[in-house]
Amino acid sequence: MATLPITKRGAEILKAELHQLKAFERPAVINAIAEARAQGDLSENAEYEAAKDKQGFVEGRIQEIEGKLSVAQIIDPSELDAGGRVVFGTTVELEDEDTGEKVTYQIVGEDEADIKLGLVNINSPVARALIGKEEGDVAEVQAPGGLRRYEVVAVHYK
């Protein structure tokens, strides 16, 4: 299986979620199943069915996170030295050539992406257009509203 790029912060978030699921969610579901079993007839026991469904979700999420962490390539942006080029983990300040609007994005893994926080998925059109660019370069992005041109104002490794 291929490696999965993830920032150090993203890996810590996944590890914290995994701990939460194993230490708190899993035992709570096991207790809920035990309580529902104690009520008797399982064929018409909605609490039992709900607890079993939740158990399936929790166990599936644990497996998903463990799988991702096992193939994760953890990248600490502060330790990068890409010679001013945009690479995974970098924070990029951009200016839209048409509107003059300035935006700042950090290129992250898919689990970390949140456009509202300025975190863009490495596989997104914006990130793909930016990879390899340097300050002063122009990146063309095919957006749903048409072609957008962004000038790379600054590249930070933080």
- Residue-wise pLDDT tens digits, 21-38: 999 999 999 999 998 888
pLDDT tops 70 at residue 45: yes
User: Residue 1: which pLDDT band, with cuts at 50, 70 and 90?
Assistant: low
Amino acid at the residue 133: K
Exposure of 107 by Cβ count < 10 A (0-12 exposed, 13-18 middle, 19+ buried)? buried
How far is Cα 143 from Cα 154, in angstroms, rounded to an integer?
22
Q: What is the pLDDT of residues 55-98, one digit of tens each?
A: 999 999 999 999 999 999 999 988 887 888 999 999 999 999 98
pLDDT at 20: 98
